[in-house]
Amino acid sequence: MDEFRAEVREFIAANLPDDVRDACMAGQYPTQEMLARWQRILADQGWSAPNWPVEYGGPDWSTRQVVAFADECESNFCPPLPNFGIGMIGPLLMTYGNQAQKDFFLEKTRTGEFQWCQGYSEPGAGSDLALLKTRAVLEDGHYVVNGAKIWTSEAHHADWMFCLVRTDPEAAKKQDGISMLLIDMTTPGITIRPIIGLNGIHYFNEIFFDDARVKAENLIGEQDNGWQYAKALLSDERFNQARTAICRGLLARLKRLAAATMCEGNPLIQQDYFRRKIGRAEVRIMALEAVKQGFVDANERGGRLGPEVSILKLTGSELLKDLDRLLMEAAGVAGLPYDPGWMQGRENARTDDIDAVGTLSGFRHRRKAATIAGGSSEVQRMIIAKRVLEL
């Protein structure tokens, strides 16, 4: 595995464009052009879909290699690959899609020609997705869709949405009667309304469907079985949210900042109380890495990711926020300035911005929602209690 990691690092060093690296190092959101450029570079190498088999244009890597690749990309300031397409709907189509869907969507998703968003949460169905009310009625070869979605990440940049809709409102259980549709975002009857976050960034959206007509052939798998597909996607998403490499990078930055910050005449890192905080954070990262490796080993032996992976999302997201708090504690008031325009890449970043305390507030604003997005910490604890511990 050391040789594989070295190969990935060498490729990144030789091929990641300087402006893209600088933006990611400084904590900016990479622009859409940067994301597309990096995905094309990886696609040309055959690495843009690291978790895909050769049959669909992937490298056919083992789970260990996929995880190692992701870690090296995060550690070396690469922009993220489009998880909705590469990490979620692509593998789902390989398993449940028909041949026509595979032929139409997979290659264009791998190369970045198709970008995706996820239509799950609704104004009245966020943490409990099974309460969704967006309705789809089959009529003359089309599903007529009415309803609303909310907190839809990057919908304003997406070409397609994989969307949960209710096709049988009379189903006995709320999890039944749900289907998954692939929806062209240019379909008449779809309205996208931006949600500007407290950090000043447009990342989330509201989506409204008013008699939007979706071809019946864009149904994934069987009608009324969408909940099973959604659960599979959520397990994969939560595995990918451990963020151990990012946590390692934040810890290293914290140590550098604490060494450069003076407190009562000595570097902050020499203060016993702060050294203990750093030590506790490092132990938590090591524990998270060990648990994540256990899931990797189980997957290599043929096991599927189950509800247990919620522990990775729960622990990883809380670690990110705790490390940000420690960074802000070390920086003090110097870490407070914040410019949303700079965060969105309207001004070029510099390589030395990685340790500039003026970027810390932007990082913290960005990760405030880590324990909410992708399933809140409360929901993760409930999943663990009910489905793992059977309490």
How far, in Å, CA of 138 to CA of 345, rounded?
Answer: 44
Helix residue ranges per DSSP H, the chain? 2-15, 18-26, 32-45, 63-75, 90-96, 99-111, 226-239, 244-260, 272-300, 310-331, 340-343, 360-367, 377-383
Amino acid at 319: L
72 in catalytic set: no
Spatial separation of the C-alpha atoms in residues 153 and 117, rounded to whole Å: 6
Which two three-digit tokens encode residue 19?
A: 């402006």
Q: Using an 8 Å Cβ cutoff, are 29 and 90 in contact? A: no
- Catalytic site residue from 237, 289, 300, 329: 237
Amino acid symbol at 361: S
Q: Angle, to 10 degrees, between the axis of helix 272-300 and the axis of helix 244-260? A: 160
Residues with Cβ within 8 Å of 207's Cβ and at least 6 positions away in sequence, in order, are: 119, 148, 149, 150, 152, 155, 161, 190, 191, 192, 193
Active site residues: 237
